[in-house]
Structure 1
Amino acid sequence: MKKILCLAAAAGMLMLSACAPNFGGEEEQEMVQKTDKSKEKAIIPKYNISDSYYKMVLPFKAGKARGLTTERLNTRLDIDEFETGMMRLAQDSFSTDDYLFQEGQYLDEDTVTSWLARKKTGDDLKKAEKDDKNFKNLGLNPALSGSGSTEKQNEESPVYLAHMLEHDYLVRKDKDTIELGGVVIGLALNSVYYYRENVGDPQKEVTISDKKLRQEGEKIAEEVAKRIRNMDDLKNIPLTIMLYKQAPKSSIVPGNFIAKTDVKAGTSELGGWAKINEEYTFFPSTEGSEKHPDDAELFKRFKNKVDTYFPNYTGVVGTALYKDGQMQDMKINIPMQFYGKSEVIAFTQFLTGEVMDYYGKSGLNVEININSSAGQEAVILKKPGDKEPTVHIYDS
């Protein structure tokens, strides 16, 4: 293997192959960010770490509904995929060359919370109006059915919409000015709805079929588009709405986006729905072997090679992203017992060669994380077309 070990004191790590990141980019630019109500100074960063990411406007503005995502989604896997997947899929409508990213600035926490609620009817509505004279019945989830036990009511009318997230995309208006050029709204939908009849009761669940999930998601999206167009700042802004199927709490892989639609500026009418054929698969697993036998066999051979060479680890597991039935990304995690830095270096060098032998000729994004009880020890990154991967060994 042609690898060079170099010291990077400033970064606090040992690095193989790449001694410094290759960013590229233009000079930092100072612009004016213009809205209907104000003008603010904005900085466009000098560097972009990858063409796969948007440059983000500085100073950073946290989303107006910041924090709700972690409360509303089942797992960290879904939290990460929901947000990063939105940015990835947004590139079909808003290219990274022409648009800048900013967290959502128009749907605040109170608005999102009220939209995520159940619609109120009957006595529940009367009570809410009595308790709050300014109450607005904006819930996008169905009201509980009016008769039967609490269990039956939840079975008949589960909560479909778990969360919604806004991303804003800014575009250059002229030499010195940027403005809002597009908005993406993600709707995270429950594949399983969890509830308790009373506080302290065992948790129960309702499984929602893919057909029903898609049907209800499209219905909710229509109402969201109408409400967005009633907001003065967003009347004439191109809009994209995406549907995300959240995985069950017990899942070891995240959920996936299932469909998206574009809404042209100045209208609330949805365009046609485009199916998003993506899924995550875990290796090794029975499901992986059944759905993708060739990929499962390749992963098995890679895992067996690690078994043969290096006995001091507790398992090799991988998560692959498939699009239209073809693997796009493979992320492999390898926990190891730590006996010294030289052992980490030797193991990482060995794995780097194996990555190129097994996945080097593929058009995949491959990421291998090596961890011990002390934390992350090394990472190996291989992008499509790379002749050699980028490898980092972390210093203590």
Structure 2
Amino acid sequence: MKKVAMVTAALMLFLAACAPKFGEQQVVQEKNNKQQTAVIPKYNISDSYYRMILPFTPSEARGLAVENLNTRLDVDEFETGLMRLAQQRFSPKDYLFQEGQYLDKETIKKWLMRKMTKEQLKEEGMTEADNIGLNPVLSDQGTNEEKNTKSPIYLASILEHDYLTKNDNGKVQLGGVVIGLALNSVHYYQTEQGYPREVEISDAEIEREGKRIASEVLSRIRHIKELKNVPITMALFKQQPRTSMIPGHFFAMANVDQGSDTIDRWTKINEEYALFPSDDAEKNHRDDLMKFLNFKSDVEDFFPNYTGVIGKAFYVDDQLQQLTITIPMQFYGKAEVIAFTQYVTGLVMEKFPDYVNVNVYISSVSGPESIIVRPAKADEPFVHIYQ
């Protein structure tokens, strides 16, 4: 028996040494005119996500969106929403994802600046070659309020995503680029005395300036050697004010053909988030809000330790696609967590139509307690209680 066990173990070790690593595909990627071996995960966690080149190569501009956008909600939606839009042109079945490799941090920082007058350039010790800011000049004339009202900062952030293809020879190459431009709905500034002030920017103004900036960004991108001939998609994102409890949304996109440096047509994107409950939801999404309020009422009736139920609804073409509900409560024991989660799971299945993806996050002061996920058209939800 010992000999058989030894032979079996040796055979397993031999096979393991000869076989490729489980779940990986090796490819060759060219960087800085040098070829290097990269790895593609063989299995994808979802059709909604792209497979990514490993080792993960971060963008040189990483972190800028976090610095420049108003809330973490906007940061997350700006990035994941851009990936979602990219799927319309660059299918996850055919393309791999990589963070932007061509627009570095210093370039983007300069593009996010205001344009300067000759006098301002002279004061800063800069030349006209440095005057590449995409936001409007702040006039020297008038009060701070007058200057900022007339010339708010429109462009808040720029995000580049690269999409790669793999050829029959096992090499990957750039197949397309998607550029997201995050635009302000509110411009924040200070008075001469240092008091914070804000200027609301209309949707019409956001759209007009966003399209103007996008044309200029495209023109500049085409001067980058590696991006002269690749297909490019431009997308415009409206970010929410600093106090918002929901993220902003993309409202327009344009596909630019290989080698072209002009945008011929913009496509409207009809997406938005709504907060449940809120006056906006009462006005624009009353039927969906009533379903949520019925759910909320049942939660309140069953458990006395209620502290609040908040919903974040995502709409595409005015149709509710996803509802994310957070329930923070005070719990006194794990048995109560289990009982409450079971009860809420039943409400989720009964109260919301089956074409909506519903995610429920239940938490206490100690942290996450349980999660309920009911995908659209699913007969049964996924439920996990944290140990």
Offset at residue 313 of structure 1 (A) = 2.2
- In the alignment, what sits opposite 1:43? 39
Q: What is the 5 A alignment of 1:345-364?
A: 345-359=338-352, 361-364=353-356
Matched residue SS, 1:174: coil
2:369 pairs with one of 363, 368, 377: 377
Give the alignment of 1:104-119 within 5 angstroms.
Answer: 104-119=100-115
Asked if 1 retains the 8 angstrom alpha-carbon contact of 2:121 and 2:127, the reply is no
Per-residue deviation at 1:153? 1.1
Question: Contact between 2:354 and 2:378, CA under 8 Å: does it hold in 1?
Answer: no
Equivalent-residue separation in structure 1 for 2:178 and 2:325 (angstroms): 30
Question: What amino acid is the match of 1:119?
Answer: K
1:190-221, Cα deviation, whole Å (9 max, x unpaired): 111001134x7111111111001100000000
2:72 is matched with which residue: 73, 76, 89? 76
Alignment map for 1:1-396 (pairs within 5 Å): 27-34=23-30, 37-128=33-124, 131-132=125-126, 136-198=130-192, 201-359=194-352, 361-395=353-387
- SS of 1:270's partner is coil
TM-score normalised by structure 2 residue count = 0.92
Aligned to 2:11: none
Q: Which residue of 2 aligns with 1:10?
A: none
Q: Which moved more, 1:74-83 or 1:171-180?
A: 171-180
Q: 1:309 and 1:260 mapped to 2: Cα distance?
A: 46
How far does residue 36 in structure 1 lie from its aligned partner after superposition?
7.0
Deviation at 1:132, TM superposition (A): 4.6
For 2:62 and 2:156, the matched residues in 1 are separated by 15
| Deviation (angstroms), 1:338 | 1.9
Secondary structure of 1:47 counterpart: coil
**Residue pair 1:36, 1:233 contacting (<8 A) in 2 also:** no
What is the rounded CA distance, in whole Å, between the counterparts of 2:55 and 2:31 in structure 1? 16
Q: What code does the residue aligned with 2:218 have?
A: A
C-alpha offsets along residues 161-193 of structure 1, whole Å, 9 cap, x if unaligned?
011111111111224111111111100001110
Asked which structure has the greater CA Rg, the reply is 2
Q: Give the Å deviation of 1:35.
A: 5.0
Tell me which amino acid in the other structure corresponds to 2:282.
S
Q: Which residue identity is paired with 1:379?
A: I
Q: Residue 121 of structure 2: SS of its match in structure 1?
A: helix
Q: Would you say the 8 A contact 2:235–2:252 is kept in 1?
A: yes
Q: TM-score, normalised by structure 1?
A: 0.89
AA of the residue aligned to 2:351: Y
Q: Distance in 1 between matches of 2:376 and 2:370?
A: 20
Q: Give the Cα–Cα distance (whole angstroms) in 1 for the partners of residues 152 and 204 of structure 2.
A: 14
* Count of residue correspondences: 366
Secondary structure of the residue that 2:187 maps to in structure 1? strand
Higher relative contact order (CA 8 A, sep 6+): 1
Conserved in 2, the CA contact under 8 Å of 1:278 and 1:322?
yes
Tell which deviates more after alignment, 337-346 or 27-36.
27-36
Structure 2: distance between partners of 1:172 and 1:386 = 34
Contact 1:35 1:179 in 2 (8 A): no
Distance 1:47 1:387 in 2: 25
Partner of 1:15: none
Give the Cα–Cα distance (whole angstroms) in 1 for the partners of residues 273 and 38 of structure 2.
37
- Runs ≥4 residues deviating over 3 A: 132-135
Distance in 2, matches of 1:222 and 1:89, equals 19
CA distance in 1, matches of 2:199, 2:310: 30
- Runs (5+) with no aligned partner, structure 2: 1-21
Deviation at 1:310, TM superposition (A): 1.5
Distance 2:37 2:123 in 1: 46
- Give the residue type in structure 2 aligned to 1:328: Q
Structure with higher helix content? 2
How far apart, CA to CA, are the structure 2 residues paired with 1:38 and 1:229?
Answer: 23
Report the AA paired with residue 282 of structure 1. L
Per-residue Cα deviation, 1:82-105 (whole angstroms, up to 9, x for no partner): 111111111111111111111111
